[in-house]
């Protein structure tokens, strides 16, 4: 018998446990007939959220124009709509030539890092992070270095720590705001400090702002690109979350800030975009309607809206639980929940998640999946309705009662 086919060594530092072994086991349990409450992924369509009808109609009306390949950067109406959104937010100097449309933000993260990194280059990534960022850095020959967004600081980064980590191989700083998984929303002072660090050292700012309009209470989203002219700033966003259109696979990346310094970088992105021909064309026809139309997300995140109410249910249930604690999420669609210290010797995050799935048929994402040095957190999405969430917390408390 010949040797089994091995995998690339570049995968040795790559993990994406959100859809990993635990999620695969949940699928196997469903095949056996169990009903699993899956809280591991922020996928609005699975929880009854619909893409706005106007976006669906825009796609249907333009299907005939969606059959050929389009320009590698995307169709002009979509890119121009992104430019207008940037201008409305006070970001000047951006044209359609600085906008790239991709198959979701995920593809654009990969392309932007591939165009930037040489072997051994370093990228500063938050911990906890959305693990695609650290994985994409590694897959493109770089080294992710994690700066702390600790629970003790409400998951907000310390700019002084970020500054201390800058070295000769640092090429970029990743900022995820509003944050996944913690739900933190960064204030102006923190963002300004990080942008000044990037400008001082000539590194690229990569602002993952896919949850840009999903903020609660008095939280204010501040676009990173509005705060710097002296650094190159890439802004990433798309239709998946705010417009509940994950399956359309439409995201965008916008070059802002010191654009002239980024011309070679932009040309590199153009080359990589051309090699993949173009991104999904039908979905691009929904962008102009989405950005220029009624922003229904505002109703969902305001008091009385479903996302607001689900988040409130989670906050109240965690407060009532003797076993859990939470820094209330100020944005995005997740809660990053902490297990009580009494379980530190019997339940780490992976053990907890495995037992919760096996015994209570609830699927969550262990906190260490997001590259944390601690192992007492887990992430759930806030997308289910309050009734479902109450069932979830009843089962969690029941399981933890047994461990107590």
Which of residues 292, 316, 341 is at a domain's end?
Answer: 292
* Same domain (yes/no): 332, 240: no
Q: Six-digit token pair at 261?
A: 């310094």
* Same domain (yes/no): 75, 27: no
Give pairs for 21-25: CB < 8 Å, separation 24+: 22/353, 22/354, 22/357, 22/363, 22/365, 22/366, 23/363, 25/354, 25/357
* Same domain (yes/no): 35, 179: no
* Same domain (yes/no): 171, 252: yes
* Same domain (yes/no): 85, 34: no
Q: What is the pLDDT of residue 77?
A: 97
Q: Can you give the pLDDT of all 404 residues of the chain as single tens digits?
A: 677 887 777 777 776 666 778 889 999 999 999 999 999 999 999 999 999 999 999 999 999 999 999 999 999 999 999 999 999 999 988 999 999 999 999 999 999 999 999 999 999 999 999 999 999 999 999 999 999 999 999 999 999 999 999 999 999 999 999 999 999 999 999 999 999 999 999 999 999 999 999 999 999 999 999 999 899 999 999 999 999 999 999 999 999 999 999 999 999 999 999 999 999 999 999 999 999 999 999 999 999 999 999 999 999 999 999 999 999 999 999 999 999 999 988 899 999 999 999 999 999 999 999 999 999 999 999 999 999 999 999 999 999 999 87
* Same domain (yes/no): 103, 244: yes
Indicate whether 269 belongs to any domain.
yes
Indicate whether 2 belongs to any domain.
no
* Same domain (yes/no): 98, 22: no
- Measured between alpha carbons, how far is 147 from 157 in angstroms, rounded to an integer? 7
Domain of 29 in residue numbering reads as 9-50+299-403
Which of residues 292, 327, 359 is at a domain's end?
Answer: 292
Indicate whether 252 belongs to any domain.
yes
Whose CA is closest to 184, among 323, 335, 312? 335
Beta bridge partners of 117: none
The DSSP element (H or E) to which 329 belongs, if any, is none
Q: What is the pLDDT of residue 3?
A: 79
**Alpha helices in 90-212, H assignment, sequence order:** 104-116, 131-139, 159-165, 188-201
Indicate whether 380 belongs to any domain.
yes
Q: What is the pLDDT of residue 8?
A: 77
- Measured between alpha carbons, how far is 300 from 9 in angstroms, rounded to an integer? 44
Q: Six-digit token pair at 14?
A: 């790559």
* Same domain (yes/no): 59, 37: no
- Measured between alpha carbons, how far is 229 from 219 in angstroms, rounded to an integer? 25
Q: What are phi and psi of 193, to 5 degrees?
A: -60, -40
* Same domain (yes/no): 207, 285: yes
The CATH number of the domain holding residue 36 is 3.90.1150.10
Indicate whether 3 belongs to any domain.
no
Please answer whether residues 130 and 155 qualify as being in contact, where contact means their C-beta atoms are separated by less than 8 angstroms. no
- The sheet that has 324-326: what strands, in order across it? 324-326, 334-339, 377-381, 365-366
* Same domain (yes/no): 241, 163: yes
Q: What are phi and psi of 344, to 5 degrees?
A: -60, -25
* Same domain (yes/no): 136, 254: yes
Indicate whether 1 belongs to any domain.
no
Indicate whether 4 belongs to any domain.
no
Place of tokens 């970088």: 265
268's CB contacts (< 8 A; 6+ apart) are 115, 116
- Measured between alpha carbons, how far is 319 from 326 in angstroms, rounded to an integer? 8
The CATH number of the domain holding residue 285 is 3.40.640.10
Which of residues 268, 292, 316 is at a domain's end?
Answer: 292
Whose CA is closest to 86, among 211, 229, 226, 187? 226
Half-sphere exposure of 33 (CA within 13 A, CB side): 0
Indicate whether 287 belongs to any domain.
yes
* Same domain (yes/no): 282, 323: no
Q: What is the pLDDT of residue 16?
A: 67
Place of tokens 């165009």: 115
351's CB contacts (< 8 A; 6+ apart) are none
Q: What is the pLDDT of residue 114?
A: 97
Radius of gyration of the chain (CA): 21
The pTM assigned to this predicted structure is: 0.94
Number of domains in the chain: 2
- Measured between alpha carbons, how far is 342 from 7 in angstroms, rounded to an integer? 40
- Measured between alpha carbons, how far is 72 from 103 in angstroms, rounded to an integer? 11
Please answer whether residues 380 and 337 qualify as being in contact, where contact means their C-beta atoms are separated by less than 8 angstroms. yes
């Amino acid at each position: 018998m010949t040797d089994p086919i091995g995998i690339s060594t570049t995968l040795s530092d790559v993990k994406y446990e959100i859809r990993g072994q635990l999620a695969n086991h949940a699928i196997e349990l469903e095949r056996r007939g169990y009903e699993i409450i899956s809280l591991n992924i922020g996928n609005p369509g699975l929880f009854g959220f619909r893409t706005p009808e106007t976006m669906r109609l825009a796609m249907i009306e333009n299907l005939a124009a969606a059959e050929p390949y389009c320009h590698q950067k995307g169709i002009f109406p979509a890119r121009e709509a992104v430019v207008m959104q940037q201008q409305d937010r006070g970001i000047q100097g951006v044209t359609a030539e600085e906008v790239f449309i991709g198959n979701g933000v995920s593809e654009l993260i990969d392309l932007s890092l591939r165009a930037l990194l040489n072997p051994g280059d370093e990228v500063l990534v938050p911990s906890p992070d959305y693990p695609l960022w650290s994985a994409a850095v590694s897959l493109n020959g770089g080294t992710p270095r994690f700066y702390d967004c600790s629970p003790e600081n409400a998951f907000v980064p310390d700019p002084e720590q970020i500054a201390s980590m800058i070295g000769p191989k640092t090429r970029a700083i990743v900022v995820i705001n509003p944050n996944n998984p913690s739900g933190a929303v960064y204030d102006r002072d923190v963002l300004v400090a990080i942008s000044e660090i990037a400008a001082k050292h000539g590194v690229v700012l990569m602002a993952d702002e896919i949850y840009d309009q999903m903020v609660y209470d008095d939280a204010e989203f501040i676009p990173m690109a509005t705060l710097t002219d002296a650094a190159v700033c890439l802004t990433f966003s798309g239709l998946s979350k705010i417009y509940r259109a994950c399956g359309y696979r439409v995201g965008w990346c916008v070059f802002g800030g010191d654009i002239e310094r980024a011309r070679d970088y932009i040309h590199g992105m153009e080359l990589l975009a051309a090699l993949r021909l173009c991104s999904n064309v039908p979905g691009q026809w929904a962008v102009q309607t989405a950005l220029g139309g009624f922003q229904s997300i505002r109703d969902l995140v305001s008091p009385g809206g479903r996302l607001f109410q689900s988040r409130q249910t989670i906050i109240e249930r965690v407060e009532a639980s003797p076993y859990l604690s939470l820094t209330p999420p100020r944005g995005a669609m997740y809660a990053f929940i902490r297990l009580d210290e009494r379980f530190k010797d019997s339940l780490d995050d992976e053990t907890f998640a495995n037992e919760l799935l096996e015994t209570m048929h609830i699927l969550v994402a262990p906190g260490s999946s997001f590259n944390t040095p601690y192992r007492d957190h887990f992430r759930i999405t806030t997308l289910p309705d309050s009734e479902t969430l109450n069932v979830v917390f009843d089962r969690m408390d029941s399981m933890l009662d047994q461990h107590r």
